[in-house]
A and B are shown apart, each in its own frame.
Chain A
Amino acid sequence: MQTVPAPREITTEPRRSDKVFRRVVTAGGLSSLGILGLITVFLGYRGSGIIFEQGFSFITSADWTVSYDESGEVVESSFGLAAMLVGTILSALVAVVVAVPVSVAMALFLNFYSPPSLRKFLIAIIDLMAAFPSLLFGLWGFLVLMPSVEYWAKLLNKYLGFIPIFDVDVYIFTRSPFIAGVVLAIMIIPIITSVSREVFSQTPLDRIQAAFALGATRWSMIKAVVIPYGRSGVIGGAMLGLGRAMGETVAVYTVLNIVFQVNWQILLGAGGNVASLIILRFGEANLYEIDALMAAGLALFMLTLLVNGLADFIVKRTGKSGR
């Protein structure tokens, strides 16, 4: 007599091994959330005292002084980030303004002009440049680039000095926010280039071919098809570069002259930078001032988070715009 095997149970319920696997992977995936959260919590915990003490003057005043009596007790202190924040934003903006045209040209060249063999080589070079240590850019900027940029700054001042930001009160052009901005520009060119290249290369081929079939020259094709399609991607890439430029520490510290005074003249040799302030003051700071530096770090962190969030939002919209 034939025995009928008991019917096998069919289920969509994952096995135990899969449940464990999914839980482990999800936990690993959430580690970025955990780390970012912990950064906010700990910097906030150490820095909040100073922020509440200073109130709004923490971001509106430019004064950063601490004095101690003999026993090491803090007598008087005032922590204001205004000069540093203004300087950070100024040099990052200079960097983006310089880097975007160059990067877009490079991205267009790689996608539409370059012969294939050169393209591979150039992409490798650009990627390599993104991995160069910031210290290298700093030293090179200080010793090699600075004399040239100083000369450009003088030219700008001579011919465009009537525009307020190119004006200088004192004739000092060394170690200005402009120079820091140019060094930062060179550092963020690879980032903006690779984002733009990626976006341009996603341009639908049929639209490109349609433009050529209608008799467009290469440039009219780019203007009519590629730029409208990739515009938001380029803007997003520029924002990413802006975020990177704001958080850069060592390269800026080596080329910038840090002064605790709000300065809007980008060619003048006096600027500020939040990240460099932390390195500058850390060596001689006591625990009280370190709390203030933590607060400054928190402000910088929030600023870069904001810029990156904006960048992400803009890049996500790519492809929905355009014709």
Chain B
Amino acid sequence: MSYENVKPRSPWKASKKDRLINASIFLATLVFSFVFVLISPLSGKLGYFVTFFVTYALANAALSFKRYSVKAAKDSAIQVLIVCGSLLAVLPIASIVFTVISKGYKGIQPHIFVEDMSLATATDPISNGGLLHAITGTLTMVAIAMVLSVPLGILTALYLTEIRGRFSRPIRFLVQAMSGVPSVVAGLFILSAVIYPITKANSGFMGSLALTILMIPTVARTSEEVLKLIPEDLREAGTALGGTQWRTVAMIVVPAARSGLITAVILGVARIIGETAPLLLVTGGGDKVNPNPFDGAMGSLPYYIWKSFGSGSEDGITRAWAGLLVLLVIIIILFSLARLLSSRKVSR
């Protein structure tokens, strides 16, 4: 007997017949739910969704019951439920992205990237004014917040992974607690601690300070995760070569984790770039390009969107969606960058 003509079998995979049955159940349920919604008092998208999933779960369960047992029936019904739940989790994001693009693209015109709102109001048609001041303001504030929070965040992560002193547990908890600080509280804190007692004026720098508080925990936690992935061997090798701890960390551990640390910074920026509440309290939200973060009101994308939406007019809302589209594109770019970098976890 020769084995040459025997094809390998994979009994765990669905056969052609199985696939056919699955597809026909799917189609039958689709048709059934359509008809059922037509003849019953149920209506709308919700009606379709509910009938479809209930009947699909029941049909699958019935099939499994006929083939195997009650347990298998339960298993397949729950599988449908879990898929349904995951769909519910993903549906909003699809809807959000679709809404932003479909409502925002009208407001995206080349001139909005070179004009500010100093000669226009939010209710003007979109051909008037732009969001240059908002983009420059957001970039300035985020850059300053980055300069302030990245060292603190990375030092915190280094303490947790390299020093591992007796404060490790409380600090890990505090970082966790800090990531839960409501953004409006960060704004109030800057108001009470800096603006009222010291500067007595709103400025972009105050916005950066508030954003710093919100950015530190994200940077610290992501960096900690990254530094934990650096093999212990590298640290031991550094010490074995006679390096002090300082040299080992600075010359070996941090360079090895470089791309991961950059990811941490990018995620931190993505976290704060859309923050609105603290900026409403402390930046003053100007309408003009303001290059000086220490003096005078400073616009920002969230503030611009907020103001345009608050104006309530048709043009204002178009403006707001266009602003959101710009913000979303920036966030998605930052995010893809972070993904790209973190896909190679340990670099030289």
> Known: A29-B163, A31-B152. Contact between A304 and B84, CB under 8 A?
no
Name the contact of A135 in the complex, choosing from B72, B305, B332 (C-beta under 8 A): B305
Which residues of A are found within 8 Å of B32, using beta-carbon distances? Answer: none
Judged by a CB distance under 8 angstroms, whether A124 is at the interface is: yes
Once bound together, how far apart are the Cα atoms of A41 and B170, in whole Å? Answer: 19
Judged by a CB distance under 8 angstroms, whether B281 is at the interface is: yes
Judged by a CB distance under 8 angstroms, whether B252 is at the interface is: no
> Known: A131-B335, A151-B44, A250-B277. Contact between A36 and B85, CB under 8 A?
no
Once bound together, how far apart are the Cα atoms of A135 and B273, in whole Å? Answer: 11
Judged by a CB distance under 8 angstroms, whether A152 is at the interface is: yes
Judged by a CB distance under 8 angstroms, whether B328 is at the interface is: yes
Do A31 and B156 touch (CB < 8 A)? Answer: yes
Contacts of B186-201 to chain A: CB distance below 8 A: 186, 188-189, 191-193, 196
B interface secondary structure, majority? helix
Do A29 and B180 touch (CB < 8 A)? Answer: no
Q: Identify the closest chain A residue to B169 (Cβ).
A: A316
Once bound together, how far apart are the Cα atoms of A143 and B45, in whole Å? Answer: 17
Q: Identify the closest chain B residue to A283 (Cβ).
A: B280
Do A305 and B306 touch (CB < 8 A)? Answer: no
Q: Identify the closest chain A residue to B194 (Cβ).
A: A42
A124 to chain B, nearest CB (A): 6
B53 to chain A, nearest CB (A): 12
Q: Identify the closest chain B residue to A251 (Cβ).
A: B276
Once bound together, how far apart are the Cα atoms of A55 and B89, in whole Å? Answer: 44
> Known: A25-B162, A26-B165, A304-B182. Contact between A312 and B176, CB under 8 A?
yes
Q: Identify the closest chain A residue to B218 (Cβ).
A: A131
Q: Identify the closest chain B residue to A22 (Cβ).
A: B163
Once bound together, how far apart are the Cα atoms of A102 and B88, in whole Å? Answer: 7
Judged by a CB distance under 8 angstroms, whether A300 is at the interface is: yes
Once bound together, how far apart are the Cα atoms of A294 and B96, in whole Å? Answer: 34
Judged by a CB distance under 8 angstroms, whether A220 is at the interface is: yes
B134 to chain A, nearest CB (A): 13
A308 to chain B, nearest CB (A): 4
Q: Give the contact stretch, choosing among B13-21, B74-82, B110-118, B121-129.
A: B74-82
A-B interface pairs (CB < 8 A), number: 262
Do B171 and A297 touch (CB < 8 A)? Answer: no
Judged by a CB distance under 8 angstroms, whether B11 is at the interface is: no
Do A46 and B302 touch (CB < 8 A)? Answer: no
Q: Give the contact stretch, choosing among B139-147, B242-250, B290-298.
A: B242-250
What are 6 sample pairs from A and B whose C-beta atoms fall under 8 A apart? A32-B175, A103-B89, A110-B86, A152-B46, A217-B71, A279-B280
Q: Taking A109-B83, A126-B89, A300-B184 as given, write out 17 further A-B residue pairs in contact, using a Cβ cutoff of 8 Å, ordered by the A residue number.
A: A20-B246, A21-B245, A29-B159, A32-B175, A38-B193, A106-B89, A125-B93, A128-B332, A133-B331, A134-B274, A135-B324, A136-B327, A139-B324, A151-B46, A248-B182, A250-B277, A307-B180
Binding site for B on A (CB under 8 A): 14-15, 17-18, 20-22, 24-33, 35-36, 38-39, 42-43, 45-46, 101-106, 108-110, 113-114, 122, 124-129, 131-137, 139-140, 143-145, 148, 151-152, 186, 189, 193, 217-220, 240, 243-244, 246-250, 254, 275, 278-279, 282, 290, 293-294, 297, 300-301, 304-305, 307-309, 311-312
Binding site for A on B (CB under 8 A): 44-46, 71-72, 74-75, 78-79, 81-86, 88-90, 92-93, 95-96, 99-100, 151-152, 154-156, 158-160, 162-163, 165, 167, 170-171, 173-178, 180-186, 188-189, 191-193, 196, 213, 216-217, 220, 244-247, 249, 267, 270-271, 273-277, 280-281, 302, 305-306, 309, 320-321, 324, 327-328, 331-332, 335, 339
